[in-house]
Structure 1
Amino acid sequence: MGAGNGRGFRPTAVLPGVAAAALYGWAHWYFAGPGSPPAAVAVAVGAVLCGAACAVYFVRVHGGGALFGALFLAVGLLLTVTTADRAAGRAESAVCVVREVHSQVQGSYGEGAPPAKTVHRVDLDCPGGYPDELKGDGPPPARGEEIEVAYDARRRVSPEPAGTTSPWKPAVWAVLLLGAAGLIAARSPEPAT
């Protein structure tokens, strides 16, 4: 029994942590492992892991929090994959020259929606021909400017400007959302018998 609340251990309360660990391990192996699977297999297995965890959570958690808990779990798992991507080794780097910058404004619709943002695709001239472009919504470099780019020679993760791939922000958000999902599961009412 739990301490004073009449509830015993709830296995569903640890499901978010277990699912995140399994998904992070899978994603890390794909992004940084030596013999990782093809991208289609990696995405399919990741989607099945995420979908199965959310389905089990939704079925096992009762009460009004089940939907929100499953949503927190899904977003937390996606952030877990983002963390694995950001933590993956981009062991190579090259100093590249910006050949061209293409900008596109992505609109946002509906009341309360986030503001529109500008996304940039930067065409690069790098030694050896790779990487050949960067994508992002940060301030773009000027045409003709030299920038250092970190990349994975096996091309499993996208190239990024050197020094910009910290995994801490998505990791913190993942922990908060997965913790909220676990808390909702731990406090859910007992199923009717």
Structure 2
Amino acid sequence: MPGTERQRMRWFAVVLPGSAAAAVYGWVHWYLAGPSSPPTAVAVAGGALLVAGACAAYVVRVGGSGGLFGVLFLAVGLLLTVTAADQAAARAEVATCVVEAVHGRVQASYGEGGPPEKTVYRLELRCPGGYPAELKDDRPLAAVGEEIAVAYDPRRRVSPAPEGESAPWRAALCALVLLAAGTEIARRRVRSAGVTSGT
């Protein structure tokens, strides 16, 4: 019986990355799209606890140098899961807006080795209902007088974005790769522990 219990606890580490990702995605989706979502402070604290708790459980169950790499994969994978949930649920509405003005502001480079100088563009918009009123990007999206489709969150929890540019697929794919790597590390540790213990 004790051996069976140990084996269950080892396999817990294998299913942990996928289960944690599902829980984190569900929590963020509920916050961004739920009809009775919690206040922002509660949502952020709850998400941070989910990520930290999953990482702590992974380290305890997997252990060793593999556990260190695995928990890094898990942590980044869960943060990318948050990004994917944000991009999938946060901008549910699309408005066709007219560009009324375009302002460019140069952001200087910060010394050698820093990011290069770039221009940030702020478009003043006239949209049905008056929101969104502006859109920021690192490239000129449209000229004055042109129309642009803008995806936005009606509850204004995140900033608007050009339609089609907040797709979650890239973040979701990267999260999947990292979570799979964390799962594989845990699986190998479970397998080696089983061989060592003679199970």
After superposition, give the CA deviation of every residue in 1:82-122 in whole Å (9 maximum; x if it has no partner): 111121163432222332333444758887x8877654443
**Gapped regions of structure 2 (runs ≥ 5):** 1-6
The TM-score with structure 1 as length reference comes to 0.80
**Higher helix residue share:** 2
Residue 100 of structure 1 aligns to which amino acid in structure 2? V
Structure 1 residue 145: Cα displacement? 2.9
The answer as to whether partners of 2:109 and 2:117 remain within 8 angstroms in 1 is: yes
Question: Greater CA deviation, 21-30 or 84-93?
Answer: 84-93
Task: Name 1:165's counterpart in structure 2.
Answer: 166
Alignment of 1:11-160 (within 5 A): 11-88=12-89, 90-98=91-99, 99-105=101-107, 107=109, 119-137=120-138, 140-160=141-161
Structure 1 distance, partners of 2:111, 2:186, is 34
Aligned positions, number: 186
Which structure has the bigger radius of gyration?
A: 2
Structure 1 residue 179: Cα displacement? 0.6
| Partner SS for 2:64 | coil
CA RMSD of aligned residues (A): 3.0
The answer as to whether partners of 1:152 and 1:159 remain within 8 angstroms in 2 is: yes
Question: Greater CA deviation, 89-98 or 54-63?
Answer: 89-98
The TM-score with structure 2 as length reference comes to 0.78
Structure 1 distance, partners of 2:112, 2:65, is 27
Structure 2 distance, partners of 1:106, 1:87, is 32
Structure 1 distance, partners of 2:62, 2:112, is 32
Tell me the percent identity: 58
**Gapped regions of structure 1 (runs ≥ 5):** 1-6
The answer as to whether partners of 1:79 and 1:170 remain within 8 angstroms in 2 is: yes
The answer as to whether partners of 2:109 and 2:115 remain within 8 angstroms in 1 is: no
After superposition, give the CA deviation of every residue in 1:68-94 in whole Å (9 maximum; x if it has no partner): 111111110011111111211634322
Structure 1 residue 132: Cα displacement? 1.9
